[in-house]
Structure 1
Amino acid sequence: MIQILEEPTGVAYKQLVSLAFSLCDEFILVKRDQIELNEDGKRFIEEIKPYIKEIKKQEGWPGTQLFGHYADVFYFDCNEELKQILLRKVDRLYEWLQPELLEDLCFYKNNKEWLVTITHEKEGIIKTTDNQEILMIREIEGIMIY
């Protein structure tokens, strides 16, 4: 497990997300019930609507467990169109926050968590023991990991 020490921004964000899309097959974004989306957030959902694979009402997702509340967890397949949307929409990993967007971007590789973000806490974790993947992550300039 690799802890991200500083928020990836700019080129580092783009390279990390691009790497995640090249290695992973699925990702999620979350809409919490207790936070209302603003107009930007509603437009974002309309933009990604054609790509939504599934929406599940959940109490928890990687890194987060709610008590007495639920969230809509949006599931997507990794593809080039969505990669371009994610790269264009924000310039920082922890910028995925309501009410402007959905939040807690997480990637899955073979049904296992690969990149987990908890945006309100500004935390990111990459779950890999693959030496080649670790080398590729370390090569991203501007990403500080432990």
Structure 2
Amino acid sequence: MIQILEEPIGVTYKQLISLAFNICDEFILVKRDQIILNENGKTFIDELKPYIKEIRKQEEWPGTRLFGHYADVYYFDCKDGLEEKLLTRVDRLYEWMQPELLEDLCFYKNGEEWLVTIAHENEGFIKTTERQEILKIREIEGIMIY
């Protein structure tokens, strides 16, 4: 597992998201029931509607477990049009938070967690043991690995 020590911002964020789209096949974004989206958040969901594969009511997702609350977890396939939306909507990884946007962007590869973020905690990590992926991650300036 690769712990992201500093928040990917700017070019580092863009390179990480592009790499995730190249490696992964699915990602999620979360809308918590107890946090009301503002107008920007509602507009963003409208933009994503054509790409939504599935919405599930869940009390947990990678890195988070709610007690007594649920969230709508939006599932998406990694498609080119979506990559551009994620790259242009924000400039940093932990900016994915309500009420402005959906939150906790996570990527999956073959049904397994690959990139996990817990935006409110400013935490993120990548789960991989594949040498080629680790080498590509190391090429991203600003990603600190230990």
Q: Give per-residue Cα distances to partners, 1:59-112, cap 9 Å, x unaligned.
A: 000000000000000000000000000000000000000001000000000000
SS of 1:55's equivalent in the other structure is strand
The equivalent of 1:33 in structure 2 is: 33
Q: Distance in 2 between matches of 1:30 and 1:145?
A: 26
Q: Give per-residue Cα distances to partners, 1:108-140, cap 9 Å, x unaligned.
A: 000000000000000001000001100100000
Q: Percent identity?
A: 79
Mapped contact 1:38–1:100 kept (Cα < 8 A)? yes
The equivalent of 1:19 in structure 2 is: 19
The equivalent of 1:7 in structure 2 is: 7
Q: Distance in 2 between matches of 1:136 and 1:32?
A: 33
> What is the deviation of 1:143?
1.5
Question: Residue 136 of structure 2 aligns to which amino acid in structure 1?
Answer: M
The equivalent of 2:67 in structure 1 is: 67
Q: Distance in 1 between matches of 2:37 and 2:45?
A: 10
The equivalent of 1:88 in structure 2 is: 88
**TM-score, length basis structure 2:** 0.99
The equivalent of 1:131 in structure 2 is: 131
SS of 1:46's equivalent in the other structure is helix
Q: Distance in 2 between matches of 1:132 and 1:77?
A: 22
Unaligned runs of 5+ in 2: none
Q: Distance in 1 between matches of 2:64 and 2:28?
A: 13
Unaligned runs of 5+ in 1: none
Where does structure 1 differ by over 3 angstroms across 4 or more consecutive aligned residues? none
**TM-score, length basis structure 1:** 0.99
The equivalent of 1:107 in structure 2 is: 107
SS of 2:81's equivalent in the other structure is helix
RMSD of equivalent CA atoms: 0.4
Mapped contact 1:6–1:145 kept (Cα < 8 A)? no
Question: Residue 37 of structure 2 aligns to which amino acid in structure 1?
Answer: L
Aligned residues between the structures:
146
Q: Distance in 2 between matches of 1:99 and 1:44?
A: 11
The equivalent of 1:50 in structure 2 is: 50
